[in-house]
Structure formats: structure tokens, C-alpha cells
Amino acid sequence: MKNTPIAIARLAALLSLGIACAACGSRPAVRDQSPPAVVEMEPMVVEFDASAEGDAAIRAYDAQSLFEDAQAAFARHDFAACDTAYGQLFERFPQSHYVHSALYNRGLCLEQLREHGRAAAHFRRHAQLATELRDQRDGEFRWGYNMVKTGDYPTAIHLYGRLLDAPDLGPLDRAECHLRRGIAQFRLSRPGEAEKDLKAAMKLVEEGTEGFVEGSELMAEAHFRRGEIYQRLSHHVPLKLPVKQMKADLADKVRFFRQAQDSYIASLNVKHSYWATAAGLKLGELYEQFYLDVLQAEVPTDFDPVTRRFYFVELRQQLEPLLEQSVAIYEKNITMSERIGAQNEWVTATESRLARLRGLIEANQKGGAAVVPPPPEPVEAVPPLDPPATDGEPPADDTAEPPGDG
């Protein structure tokens, strides 16, 4: 090749191009050949309200913010707001990976609203969508609890029977199954079966805690529920004439009374703050109810009005120590609740009953016809709050419809 100006110019151009490419030509050689990463982001919904003004007219939603709003509402015990926020999440983002955790959390919220039917539906769906056995069990246990609350006892008994056949449960989980099934059996008026389950629950708690049962919620409730069984048995023993029959009935009534008393005291001795206040209330109620039952015993038909009046005056005087004992127990329950800082439905009911009984005793001491107290109002147990779950892994089928609000 001749060193003509044109050839030299072409060579210089090629060299300069080569130098320029050398400065950047190494990049293709080391380029990552893997496909670009795909970042999945939660969808967002933007709504426009023509009736609002300014910035208030536009509102944006995403699943994460609704989930966090619901958790914050639960933490401040605003359960209506919690329910609403989770409902908006299900409605707007049914395919979100937050749905699975939200099902469980909303169930807890609905428990506190005492909407146990809706809660049961949410926990059941949470169990169905679970991809891990632990999540499935969490949903099943809360589902069973709420079925007992709604009165669906046969379904609850079937569920707990299936769980007790499962090999993965430890002693405390099995204890809870026996406890809840025992409550269901009791509500179906099967006291014998109920007591078997409650005794099994106590034995398993002993096993699971290696005997350190102080503060155990399961043990305290098991004793409490056993007390309820014997309190009902005592209350349902009628006192009917003739005298020989009445003496036999009274012996049975007192025997069941003492068994109920022992169970409530055992629940108190576990020293669980919630169930201790519950047992304190029921102990006072036990004496109050016994007083009422004896006042309603059959009276000989040959008593004329004057004899009948003196009979009740004398009976009232003989029974007044029962009311005084009930008052003393209620007072101790209030003192205990103040000492441990407990404030719940049991404490509220204790305060109400104490005021009523004091008035009753005062009226009785003024003489005249016996004053018969009304039957004690039932108190529903609402155990302490469970914390809501944090966001977990998406369910196996997170496109499934969340449960409705019915």
C-alpha cells in the first residue's frame, strides 16, 4: 500500500476508531447476560370525589397502606376502623399478597367486636389458603374458638377431634383442643364428656409446662370451666317435698356446690389476672345463686298466709350469711383487681352485683317480706387481646375471593 495522503488519512481514521472502541469495547465482553430483574409492585387505586374540594377530592389507596392502617387501628383498640380498613383491602386488592395475613388479623378484630360468625369465616379461609402447616393450624384454632362462641358446637367438636388426631401438635396445643371441646360438650349438656376433656386439658398443661402452671391461661380456664359445670349441676337440683326427698336433694346440691367452689378457688390459685377476676365473680355468684335456689324451694301447701310469711322471714335470716359471704367475695375480687391492675367485664359485673347485694341485705334487715334477688346476669368471657400478625408470605391461591361481611 502506498503512503499516499489519502491512504495515510484512512489509516489514521481506522486507528483512531480502534482506539475509541478500545475505551468502551470491554463492556460487551463483561455484560451480565441474565435477564433483567422484574420488580413486582402492589397496585394502587386512585379515587376522585367530585363533591370534595381541593386535595381532598383525590385519594390514593394501596394494599400496604390499608394493611398498616388496620394494624394501627387494632393497636389503639379502634376495632370498627380496623374492620373497615381490612374490608377495603379485600374489596380493592383481592389479589394482594397481604390478603392472607389480613384474613387472620381481621378475624382477631371481629372477635373483639364479638362478631364471632364473621370471625370464624375469616379464620376458616385463612386456614384453607395457608401454604405452611403452622399458618393452617393458627387459622384452625381460632376458627374453632369462634365456632364455640357462635354455638356451632357439633362442628367445633368435629374440628377438635380431627386436630387431636394430628401428629404435629404438642401438649399445650392438645390441651387447648380438649379445653375448647370440653366447653362445647358442656354447652350441649354433656357434663360427663365435658369433664373428661377438661381433666385431659389439665393433665396436658402439667406435661407441657413441666408442672409450672402458675399464670397458665389454659389451666386457669380449665378449672374455671369445671366450676361452671358443677355450678350448673348444683343450680339444677330442685328442692322438692316431701322432706325426705328435699334432704336428699339438698345433699346433692351442696355436694355440687362444693365441687364448683373448689374449682373456682383452683382457678384463682393459678394467678392468671383475667381468669382470677372471672373466678372471683363466679365464687360470689355461687353463694348468691344458692341463696336464691333455697328461697325457691317448695313450701308445704297447708301453710296459710301468716305461716308462709313467718316461714320466709325465718328462712331469710338463716340464709343471710350466704349473701354476706357473697358480698365479702365480691369485695375481695375488686380489691384483687385493683392490686393487679385488671379492668375487664368480670370486674365491672362484680362492682354492679356488690352494690345490688348490699342494697338487698339492707332491705332484708329492715324486716318485712323476704326480698328475692333477681338471677345473676350472665357475663360473656372475652379473653385478652392477641397481637395481629405481620405480613406473611402470599397464600397458595391469593386470587381467591376473601370472605364477605356477612
Over residues 127-168, the pLDDT tens digits come to: 999 999 999 999 999 999 999 999 999 999 999 999 999 999
**Residue 404 covered by a domain:** no
The three cell numbers locating residue 183:
366447653
Give residue-wise pLDDT tens across range 270-301. Answer: 999 999 999 999 999 999 999 999 999 999 99
Give residue-wise pLDDT tens across range 5-57. Answer: 444 344 344 334 343 444 444 444 443 454 555 445 566 666 555 565 655 55
The three cell numbers locating residue 275:
381468669
Q: Which domain holds residue 316?
A: 223-377
Averaged pLDDT for residues 241-247 = 93
Q: How far apart are CA 387 and CA 395, in angstroms?
A: 20
- Taking CA atoms, 313 is separated from 244, 259, 306, 307, 317, in Å, by 23, 29, 11, 10, 6
The three cell numbers locating residue 140:
384452625
Q: What's the structural domain count of the chain? A: 1
pLDDT above 60: residue 2: no
**Residue 307 covered by a domain:** yes
**Residue 154 covered by a domain:** no
**Residue 234 covered by a domain:** yes
pLDDT above 80: residue 382: no
**Residue 27 covered by a domain:** no
**Residue 388 covered by a domain:** no
CA 322 to chain centre: 34
**Residue 358 covered by a domain:** yes
**Residue 231 covered by a domain:** yes
